[in-house]
């Protein structure tokens, strides 16, 4: 999978995320610390250890704990997708991804981080498995539009034009919104900044994305209450 990402980066982005002050954009710096005695032991972990450099909020309230490999069944939640997942949310790439679970209530889950967007940046790229509702990507307080531009066997590659913020220090936020169709499970991974403009999606990529959406619609997995 890592080889595929290198090829995609060369073809679409020439990613320069390493030049940014943003950290842990692929979530591989996770070192989950279990919260002993918690209601969902041994799945409850500290947010700081599971998602270093990121701030986790639900309904705007910062969270000190999330879960690893134990998703919600109805409440909005943030989960670390780790190795040996048995609940239907394996990592997209490497050992870790993040699952944002929006639901039919107003308290939306988010992860955010503030850093320097490298000078010369044209686009933001990230890999995702889409949910049953919308995902908001924000630079500062501004929602940016993103589109599917490619993908692989288990993910869709998305790109957003963020050239207006090149060279600025801004907060980057991912938020899963409410869904009337069930849990809005957005899994994301491998975020990067690119000096290239967002390419147009190919018909083949769009066909693959449609198949992935259908598969996600049919998927049912037990989740955290």
Residue 148 lies in a domain: no
Residue 29 lies in a domain: yes
Answering whether pTM is above 0.85, one says no
Range(s) of the domain holding residue 93:
2-130+165-218
Q: Into how many domains does the chain fold?
A: 1
Contact in structure between 188 and 128 (CB atoms under 8 Å)? yes
Residue 203 lies in a domain: yes
Residue 156 lies in a domain: no
Residue 143, class by beta-carbon neighbours within 10 Å (0-12 exposed, 13-18 middle, 19+ buried)?
middle
Residue 85 lies in a domain: yes
Residue 149 lies in a domain: no
Residue 151 lies in a domain: no
Residuewise pLDDT in 10s, the chain (225 residues): 444 443 344 444 444 444 449 999 999 999 999 999 999 999 999 999 999 999 999 999 999 999 999 999 999 999 999 998 878 899 999 999 999 999 988 899 999 999 999 999 999 999 999 999 999 999 999 999 999 999 999 999 999 999 999 999 999 999 999 988 889 999 999 999 999 999 876 554 444 444 544 444 444 444 444
Residue 37 lies in a domain: yes
Q: Could you check whether the bond before residue 42 is cis, i.e. omega within 30 degrees of 0?
A: yes
Rounded CA-CA distance 151/20 in Å is 24
């Amino acid at each position: 999978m890592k080889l595929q990402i290198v090829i995609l980066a060369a073809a679409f982005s020439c990613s320069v995320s390493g030049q940014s002050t943003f950290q842990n954009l692929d979530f591989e710096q996770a070192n989950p610390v279990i919260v002993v005695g918690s209601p969902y032991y041994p799945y409850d972990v500290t947010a700081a250890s599971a998602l270093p450099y990121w701030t986790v909020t639900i309904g705007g309230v910062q969270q000190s704990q999330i879960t690893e490999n134990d998703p919600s069944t109805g409440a909005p939640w943030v989960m670390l997708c780790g190795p040996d997942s048995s609940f239907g949310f394996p990592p997209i790439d490497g050992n870790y991804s993040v699952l944002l679970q929006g639901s039919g209530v107003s308290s939306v889950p988010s992860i955010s981080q503030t850093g320097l967007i490298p000078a010369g940046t044209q686009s933001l790229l990230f890999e995702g498995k889409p949910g049953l509702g919308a995902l908001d990507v924000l630079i500062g307080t501004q929602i940016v539009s993103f589109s599917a531009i490619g993908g692989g066997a288990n993910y869709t590659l998305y790109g957003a034009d963020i050239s207006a913020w090149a060279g600025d220090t801004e907060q980057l936020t991912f938020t899963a919104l409410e869904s009337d169709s069930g849990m809005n499970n957005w899994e994301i991974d491998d975020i990067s900044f690119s000096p290239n403009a967002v390419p147009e999606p190919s018909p083949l990529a769009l066909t693959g994305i449609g198949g992935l959406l259908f598969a996600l619609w049919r998927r049912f997995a037990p989740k955290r209450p």
